[in-house]
Amino acid sequence: MRLFHVSEESDIKIFHPIKPYRKDLAQEEGLVWALCERTLPNFLTPRNCPRVTFHVSKDTKQKDINKYFKNKSSEHAVYVEKDWLERIDQTTLTIYEFDPKNFVIQDEMAGYYVSTQSEVPIKTYTVTNLRKALKAFDVEFHTVDYLWDIMEQIQQSSFNWSMCRMGFAKKKHSE
């Protein structure tokens, strides 16, 4: 198993545990967050870019695959708002790889792992073309005006999904 952390910061030498920002998680213990290779494409965007991501699992129904995937070889999709394209094209990311020995699974569907210890990356990778990187992972990349409709559709589907940074998503004009 390979574990990663993705950042717009390129010079992190050590990751120290921090208390979760999310209020639905226990606040007592600091954590170092990592994600598995399967869900790494969900984070190949600028940090605050709102996105709807999903991938095929063993429980995904063929009708959902047929409806949401154009490329029959793809099993992973990332949707972003069109207004983020320029920033996506200008962003460089650093992918930090960790030794997985101290990590435990925190969320199977999202591919999140956590460690309670400080972690030193074992490798780093620089990504300067995010769309090309997504394509290398065979991810279907889509742009929409607003994410809310696709978010609701995917939440009702049989995919494994993750909705990231939705607080930064545009509201529809009628709202």
Widest pairwise Cα distance in the chain:
49
d(CA 149, CA 21): 26
User: How far is CA 70 from each of CA 6, 24, 39, 97, 144, rounded to the nearest angstrom?
Assistant: 27, 35, 20, 31, 16
For position 110, what pLDDT does the model report? Answer: 87
Point out the least confidently predicted range of 61-70, 74-83, 122-131, 163-172. Answer: 163-172
Q: Is the model's pLDDT at 25 over the cut of 80?
A: no
Mean pLDDT across the chain: 94
Q: Which residues pair with 123 in a beta bridge?
A: 97
DSSP labels for 97-142? EE-GGG-EEEETTTTEEEESS-B--SEEEEES-HHHHHHHTTEEEE
Average pLDDT over every residue of 111-133: 97
Task: Give me the helices (H) in 61-100, please.
Answer: 62-68, 85-90
Model confidence at 158, in pLDDT bands (50, 70, 90)? very high
Average pLDDT over every residue of 83-98: 98
d(CA 51, CA 20): 20
Q: Is the model's pLDDT at 172 over the cut of 90?
A: no
Assess contact for 135 and 44: CB atoms under 8 A: no
For position 56, what pLDDT does the model report? Answer: 96
For position 174, what pLDDT does the model report? Answer: 53
For position 173, what pLDDT does the model report? Answer: 60
pLDDT in tens, 38-58: 999 999 999 999 999 999 999
